[in-house]
Structure 1
Amino acid sequence: MFVSTANGNSVPLNAIADPQLKSTPPEITRYGLRRTVTVVGYNEPGVLASDLNAEVQEKLKSIALPKGYRFSQGGEAEAASRSFSGLGPVVLLAIFGIFGVLVLEFGRFKETAVVAGVIPLGVLGGLIALFLTGNSLSFLALIGFVALVGIEIKNSILLVDFTTQLRKQGMGLREAIEKAGEVRFLPILLTSLTAIGGLMPLALSGSSLYSPLAWVIIGGLVSSTFLSRLVIPAMYLLVIRGEEAEAVEV
């Protein structure tokens, strides 16, 4: 191998250098201007990626790296970290938006509080469904809780709004609550069953990504549909009865 000189002649490379063969990476990958080597692994069917990632992180802590080297998470763990970091403001905005719409619809905070009382019932069912199916509280599971709140609120509105309409027509408080529960329970039940039936294929698919979302909504709908039949009328009775008692005293 010859190298051209400034005057146009050529000299052998070994006359001006000491060439040696050394192994080098065929490709240099950079991430954030840093040289990066990516190690890819896949979890076995039935193993949660979050649990596997936690175990891998514990193993990596025992490895002593030279100065200037470090481990960093990628893939699903990195995506989940980025998603969770921006999820809080979105959830708060959704909650305030829902309460704002309810206040505009009913015009008072008391009915709004009764409607929102169904939210803990669904959250409880969603958490139980995740526990029973062995799924973790992933990013999409939290998205499922947000979607579940919207469905629950809609069912609760059907019950509370119809009760209020009956009272405006002159019906007594207890009678209106009982009548609304009888008339509106079947539409609420059918709506929930339809949603559950549509989500079952997704829940039974075994996808570590989308199954938690489906199970959260299914579990929340099951618990809120049946528990709201008892809790919402009781809350409405307590809130409005107190209001009527104050009106009588005045």
Structure 2
Amino acid sequence: MRTHNPHRRGPGEAGRPLVGGVWGESTLPPRPQVPSQNLSTATPPQLLTRGFNHPQLSVLYRRFLNLLISRPWLGVALALAIPIVGFARAGTLSQQFFPPSDRNQFHIDFELPVQASLTETERQVQDVRNLIVQQPEIEKVTWLVGETFPTFYYNVVAQKESVSNFARGLVQLQPNLLPQPIVRRLQLQLDRQFPQAQVLVRQLEQGPPFESPLELRLYGPDLDRLRQLGNELRGVMAQVPQVVHTQSTLTEALPKLGLQLDETSARIAGLDRAAIARQLDANLEGAVGGSILESTEELPVRVRLKQGDRGNLNSLNSIELLSQEEAIPLDALGRVELLPDIAEIDRRDGLRVNIVRGYLEAGVLPADALAQFEQAWQASGVTLPQGYSFEYGGEAEARGTAEGNLFSTVGILAVLMLATLVLSLGSFALAGSIAAIAIAAVGLALAALRLFNYPLGFMAILGALGLVGLAINDSIVVLAALRSDPEARRGDPKAMQRVVDRSTRHVLTTTLTTMAGFTPLLFDRAGFWPPLAVAIAGGLGGATLLALFFVPSLYSLAIRAGWIAGGDRAELEAVPD
């Protein structure tokens, strides 16, 4: 029996190729041969198509994941090691609620003894200005004598008006100069050149306003005892090396004219205390003797002793007082002397208070100086008697108030976050694990601040709160991946290792890109942004451990303990390496 073979060529058909299963003439050109080595070089590099991949490192990482999933307590301990260290070392962090401003300006407070005249203050301020303008970094200096400037910076408040012994100067630096080193140098020079005055060269600060970095308020009933305690504690405060000047509100004394009256001589002359006081007031302060019309305004004319006689103690002794019969010199009725009198008596909440203030070198953290003052106070042995109390003001009070306002809503936000997690995850155990990650993230931020030696302040607290959100986000990514895989959801160790391994690339990518985004903030010369950047970028490394090690380990423990729904416990045996 003959069969037909379509591929068999008949006689005379050997030169005809087969096209589409039909014999016929071919008009197609021959196909060129491409060398195999050209094909391999035409493909893109593996790094661009599949990313970084290191086989040996991948094998070690998978084995490590198997170890942690098979021994979940080890994974929990490893992930929480850094947060625990952060909380343990939090007490050693310096505190600075806001760093100084980097504005190329600073101001100078110049204060003479309280009895100094406006003319004397103006003369010495001119000498100060001549010294300042010699500095090459100074562009402009403006002074106001007798009062403070109107508010030119949001937390520099005008507090003094019509004060003859006070002046404030505003110094403008050349562009792109940081004021701190210039402030320190000028403080030393002005203290050396003007020892008779209290000169404060002050850098502009951030945050709420306060009069002085260190402030101690002493409360008590007796002014003399308050003054004594203030002077003692002022001496203790001056022992702190970073303190450049101290003040006490009850220390300043005004010269007061006192008359030791001879009662017998006054009665013989027919004068009593009230009559003598009226005549002395008329001679020294003046009596209205008429008025003049200046344009449309009537001005009173006051008659009194001339300035030279009013300021001379010998002239005051020879003032003649009118009695019923004749004029009697004042020194015939008693002895005139100058007595110190308290310049001002401050009250706070109805209580007498003596405020002791300390001013620091530029760049010194007030919290560190306050800690040194407390140690010096304990060593000095100065104690407050019964009925006297104290409290701290200044930067410590402003920082405490601001931190209280900042944390006042944390409780409400925590409850809302926990409720959202419970509703989203459908499990209190899973929501609790995420809440534990939020607490651990705060410890990571504290550890980063301690490692890089940054103070704990407003920006660092904001960084810690931001890190909490990033850590929760990475952990939810891993947790959602575990819950979406049926085998990993039941707690199968192999499946959990596979899911975490697959999520690692995404978590690491998020971590590295976020850290790179915050890196430019580390180069802020004024120091305002670096605490925030360090808290977030530095803590993200530990947050990655929480997402990749803590979450699967805690998930495995939760399934084994029956806290969340899972598979048969027999499926939860460890996978050998």
Distance 1:170 1:203, change over 3 A: closer
Distance 1:21 1:117, change over 3 A: same
Match of 1:244 among 535, 553, 566: 566
**Which residue type is aligned with residue 304 of structure 2?**
P
- Over residues 132-155 of structure 1, what are the superposed CA-to-partner deviations in whole Å (9 max), with x where a residue is unaligned? 222233343233222211111111
Task: Report what 1:74 is aligned to.
Answer: 394
Structure 2 residue 372 is the aligned partner of structure 1 residue 50: no
Bigger Cα Rg? 2
Please, what is the CA RMSD of the aligned residues?
4.5
- Over residues 9-50 of structure 1, what are the superposed CA-to-partner deviations in whole Å (9 max), with x where a residue is unaligned? 86434789x9x999xxxxxx9999999897653433xx5442
**Which residue type is aligned with residue 73 of structure 1?**
G
Distance 1:172 1:10, change over 3 A: closer
Q: Give, in whole Å, the separation in 2 of the partners of 1:227 and 1:169.
A: 18
Match of 2:425 among 106, 114, 131: 106
Report percent identity of matched pairs.
26
Structure 2 residue 288 is the aligned partner of structure 1 residue 4: yes
Q: Give, in whole Å, the separation in 2 of the partners of 1:93 and 1:167.
A: 36
Match of 1:199 among 483, 508, 518: 518
| Contact 2:490/2:566, CA 8 A, preserved across alignment | no
| Contact 1:122/1:219, CA 8 A, preserved across alignment | no
Q: Give, in whole Å, the separation in 2 of the partners of 1:177 and 1:50.
A: 48
- Over residues 105-152 of structure 1, what are the superposed CA-to-partner deviations in whole Å (9 max), with x where a residue is unaligned? 112112223333433543333222222222233343233222211111
SS of residue in 2 equivalent to 1:43: coil
- Deviation of 1:172 (Å): 6.8
Task: Report what 2:413 is aligned to.
Answer: 94
- Deviation of 1:59 (Å): 5.5
More displaced stretch, 1-10 vs 96-105? 1-10
Alignment of 1:48-197 (within 5 A): 48-56=365-373, 72-75=392-395, 77-167=396-486, 173-197=492-516
SS of residue in 2 equivalent to 1:86: helix
| Contact 1:3/1:12, CA 8 A, preserved across alignment | yes
Distance 1:3 1:99, change over 3 A: same
Structure 2 residue 213 is the aligned partner of structure 1 residue 213: no
SS of residue in 2 equivalent to 1:118: helix
Q: Give, in whole Å, the separation in 2 of the partners of 1:9 and 1:129.
A: 73
| Contact 2:437/2:471, CA 8 A, preserved across alignment | yes
**Which residue type is aligned with residue 476 of structure 2?**
I
SS of residue in 2 equivalent to 1:5: strand
Q: Give, in whole Å, the separation in 2 of the partners of 1:124 and 1:81.
A: 21
SS of residue in 2 equivalent to 1:136: coil
Distance 1:211 1:169, change over 3 A: closer
Distance 1:144 1:10, change over 3 A: closer
**Which residue type is aligned with residue 369 of structure 2?**
L
Task: Give the strand-richer structure, 1 or 2.
Answer: 2
SS of residue in 2 equivalent to 1:164: helix
**Normalised by the size of structure 2, how large is the TM-score?**
0.35
| Contact 2:421/2:431, CA 8 A, preserved across alignment | yes
- Over residues 77-98 of structure 1, what are the superposed CA-to-partner deviations in whole Å (9 max), with x where a residue is unaligned? 3331112223443222222222
Gaps of 5+ in 1: 23-28
- Deviation of 1:221 (Å): 0.9
- Over residues 162-216 of structure 1, what are the superposed CA-to-partner deviations in whole Å (9 max), with x where a residue is unaligned? 2212229998743442233123222221212222122223234365544333222
**Which residue type is aligned with residue 394 of structure 2?**
G
SS of residue in 2 equivalent to 1:244: coil
Gaps of 5+ in 2: 1-283, 292-299, 306-318, 322-329, 331-336, 340-345, 571-577
Distance 1:10 1:235, change over 3 A: closer
More displaced stretch, 106-115 vs 118-127? 118-127
Task: Give the helix-richer structure, 1 or 2.
Answer: 1
Structure 2 residue 567 is the aligned partner of structure 1 residue 228: no
| Contact 1:144/1:214, CA 8 A, preserved across alignment | yes
Q: Give, in whole Å, the separation in 2 of the partners of 1:82 and 1:9.
A: 52
Q: Give, in whole Å, the separation in 1 of the partners of 2:383 and 2:527.
A: 32
Q: Give, in whole Å, the separation in 2 of the partners of 1:245 and 1:162.
A: 17
SS of residue in 2 equivalent to 1:4: strand
Q: Give, in whole Å, the separation in 1 of the partners of 2:301 and 2:476.
A: 91
